[in-house]
């Protein structure tokens, strides 16, 4: 993994460390030698073009796929993630892009889906209190926990999905395209939500194609290209550097525009 000397040193405990993670599907190599660190209280943005391996890496971390080679270290010890239940029990929660919510059920039922209190005789009161507690900790704007999810906005649905992921007190949350297909106001709501999750001391891995969203909340930007590490950048890295790392081409529309602007600025400074 390419290290950037200008990167700030993370202050939180290193929760997750990947070394040499590779994944092959038959003759196809989806990931090759991936290294990744996630610390407590930081947001790591995972960016790359389509087919770069981002979703495959998240599925490995969430226990959906098993790596072909490499090691996963969690809280200082090497671990295996044979299934999603093992990842969740360890402290790795995942919110996939489709959110996996049941639109006909209310907010409480979605948060506790599969984890109901006293399933033989549901403790509705305790579940509702816990749901409100989680949502209040996230400063969520949910009108009622008895509202069916179908009546909520995209940002509110994302909030419910994240609240459900916090139910078992994870240490890391993986967010797959959390702001995709959201409007401006809903995107701002979700980004605020991510900052509040970071403030709780959790590590957050965020996949996004939106560079402005990434810059708004990320502490580090990790670029994948063709299934390999291709650089680690601070959130104030230039668009030119990020696009070059993502595409593998220094000569592109962004770099040409930056060069033109630099030439114009130099020309203006040279004029008496």
Q: Whole-structure pTM over 0.85, yes or no?
A: no
Helix 124-137 with 154-165: angle, nearest 10 deg: 110
What is the pLDDT at residue 258?
Answer: 59
Structural domain includes residue 200: yes
Predicted confidence (pLDDT) per residue in 168-227, tens digit: 899 999 999 988 878 888 888 889 999 999 999 999 999 998 889 999 999 999 999 999
User: Once rounded to an integer, what is the mean pLDDT over residues 32-51?
Assistant: 94
Judge contact between 177 and 190, C-beta under 8 A. no
List the domain range (segments joined by +) for residue 173.
Answer: 14-104+169-237
Tokens for 48? 């790359």
CB 161 within 8 A of CB 171: no
Share of the chain above pLDDT 90, in %: 61
Q: How, if at all, do strands 14-25 and 69-74 pair? A: antiparallel
Residue 258 lies in a domain: no
pLDDT tier at 1, thresholds 50, 70, 90: very low
Rounded to whole angstroms, the Cα distance separating 242 from 186 reads 25
Question: Among the listed ranges 119-133, 159-173, 243-257, which one has the minimum average pLDDT value?
Answer: 243-257
Q: Reply yes or no on whether the pLDDT at 5 is more than 90.
A: no
Specify if 266 maps to a domain. no
> What is the pLDDT averaged over residues 252-266?
62
Beta bridge partners of 92: 172
Q: Residue 32: what pLDDT? A: 96
pLDDT one-digit tens code per residue, 125-160: 999 999 999 998 888 888 899 999 999 988 899 999
For position 185, which CATH number holds? 3.40.50.300
In a domain, residue 80? The reply is yes
Is 247 part of a structural domain of the chain? Answer: no
Tell me the C-alpha distance between 242 and 55, whole Å: 19
Residue 259 pLDDT: 62
- 182: in domain: yes
Nearest to 16 by CA among 81, 69, 66: 81
pLDDT at 251 over 60: no
Residue 253 lies in a domain: no
Q: Are 229 and 241 in contact (CB under 8 A)?
A: no
129 within some domain? no
Copy the structure tokens of residue 132: 């409100």
> So what's the pLDDT on residue 243?
87
What's the total number of domains in the chain? 1
pLDDT given for residue 181 in this prediction: 76
The H-or-E segment that residue 17 falls in is strand 14-25
Quote the pLDDT of residue 121.
83
Residue 11's pLDDT is what? 76
Q: What is the pLDDT of residues 52-76, one digit of tens each?
A: 999 999 999 999 999 999 999 999 9
Give residue 265's pLDDT band: very low, low, confident or very high (50, 70, 90). Answer: low
């Amino acid at each position: 993994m390419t290290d950037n000397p200008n990167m700030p040193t993370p202050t939180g405990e290193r929760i997750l460390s990947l070394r040499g993670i590779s994944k092959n599907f038959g003759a196809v190599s989806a990931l090759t030698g991936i290294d990744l660190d996630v610390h407590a209280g930081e947001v790591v943005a995972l960016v790359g073009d389509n087919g770069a391996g981002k979703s495959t890496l998240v599925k490995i971390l969430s226990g959906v796929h098993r790596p072909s080679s490499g090691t996963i270290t969690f809280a200082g010890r090497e671990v295996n993630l044979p299934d999603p239940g093992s990842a969740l029990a360890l402290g790795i929660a995942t919110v996939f892009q489709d959110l996996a919510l049941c639109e006909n059920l209310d907010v409480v039922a979605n948060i506790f889906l599969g984890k109901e209190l006293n399933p033989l005789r549901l403790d509705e009161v305790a579940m509702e209190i816990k749901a409100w507690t989680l949502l209040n900790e996230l400063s969520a704007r949910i009108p009622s926990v008895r509202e069916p999810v179908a009546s909520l906005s995209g940002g509110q649905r994302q909030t419910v999905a994240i609240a459900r992921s916090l139910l078992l007190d994870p240490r890391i949350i993986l967010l797959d395209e959390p702001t995709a297909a959201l409007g401006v106001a809903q995107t701002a709501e979700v980004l605020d939500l991510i900052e509040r999750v970071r403030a709780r001391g959790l590590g957050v891995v965020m996949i996004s194609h939106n560079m402005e969203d990434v810059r708004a909340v990320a502490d580090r930007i990790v670029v994948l290209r063709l299934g390999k590490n291709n650089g680690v950048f601070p959130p104030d890295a230039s668009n030119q550097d990020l696009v070059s790392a993502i595409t593998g081409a220094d000569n592109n529309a962004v770099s040409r525009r930056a060069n033109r602007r630099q030439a114009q600025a130099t020309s203006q400074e040279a004029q008496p």
